[in-house]
Amino acid sequence: MNELANLAEKLGADIEQVRQGIGSDPRIGYHFLYPGCGYGGSCFPKDVQALQRTARLDAGMEMKVLNAVEDANDAQKHVLTAKTVKRFGNDLSGRKFAVWGLAFKPNTDDMREAPSRYLLADLFAAGATVVAYDPVAMHEARRIFGDEPRLSYAESPMAALDGADALLIVTEWKEFRSPDFEAIKAKLKQPVIFDGRNLYEPKQVRQFGIDYQAIGRQ
């Protein structure tokens, strides 16, 4: 779905319509057919890599589909960076970005292989600073990033937006699903949202004058 979403974006199609079409086949269903900014955690990455190693070392064969899955997921973790750079340029020095979500999925503080870690590293490398908010994972982020001077933490989602050049959404926490878009626009320096989890209907957000960029949505 991530690769189909990227293709849909380039072709001017809407991945949500594609998702509805694919999911209507009862042999497939709608569960887990959601594009985003990559999977993380301890299970999926570890299990894919373990099966690859077992095949390679014990059977002398390459699992071509699994290799492609891992390559595609690694690339997907940088998709929000690509959108940000396209909008603001390669040099993000002096830019500040708000990030909603640090955990690899909702309802956990687990940041192992989380897309947020790759996004933050990309933004720092480009010269940006980040103000992050996550309901439960900020203590884990502090453990991982330590005294990283380019990273600070907000006490609420809206507080993270103060003076930020754009909002980047990485984790689909329930509390992010129904925000006050007028307030978001008022707080951001530029009314831009990069949504790595397709939380909102594009037309609804854009009617507030916000540049809304999701994954494969038009």
Q: Kindly list the catalytic residues.
A: 43
Strand order of the β-sheet with 192-195 is 151-153, 129-133, 96-100, 166-169, 192-195, 211-213
CA dist 118 to 52, 62, 93, 147, 151, Å? Answer: 23, 27, 18, 18, 14
